[in-house]
Structure 1
Amino acid sequence: MNIIFFMIGISLLLALGFFGAFLWAMRSGQQDDLYTPSMRILLEDKEPTTTDTPA
């Protein structure tokens, strides 16, 4: 019977930890831009410029 109370306490602490991490992520702005990351692969990178000067 004691193990049930122990497991309930551990699960509540774990749930509070996940909830705290969720609140931290929302307050720090990690969920602000949902469109750009999915389109970033489609955007072309600039071609690197090379100089032909001898060293």
Structure 2
Amino acid sequence: MEALYMLIPIAIGVMIIVVIAFIYTVKSGQYDDLEGPAHRILMDDDDPRIPGQQVKQPHKKTAESDIEDKNR
């Protein structure tokens, strides 16, 4: 019985520390995106890994290219 007088305050103290740590991790954003890293590992990179193959980049339209097209 005398051990309970010591164990109950220790248990309450540990519980308070765990609750404070949990609140800190929630406020710091540790649990914001749980699925993002799991999906990111499955996505392919844009770089081709096979030598000799090149990725075609789409031509970006700019105001300068529009002016050049009109002058032709």
TM-score (norm 2): 0.56
In the comparison of the two structures, how many residue pairs are matched? 47
Question: What are the equivalent positions in structure 2 for 1:1-55 lying under 5 Å apart?
Answer: 1-45=1-45, 47=47
> Which structure 1 residue ranges, 4+ long, deviate > 2 Å from structure 2?
43-47
Q: Alignment partner of 1:42: what SS?
A: coil
Identity over aligned residues, as a percent? 34
Deviations 1:14-52 (A, max 9, x none): 0111100100000001111122022132123465xxxxx
Structure 2 stretches lacking a partner, 5+ long: 48-72
| Structure of larger gyration radius | 2
The letter of the residue matching 1:36 is G
Decide which structure has greater helix share.
1
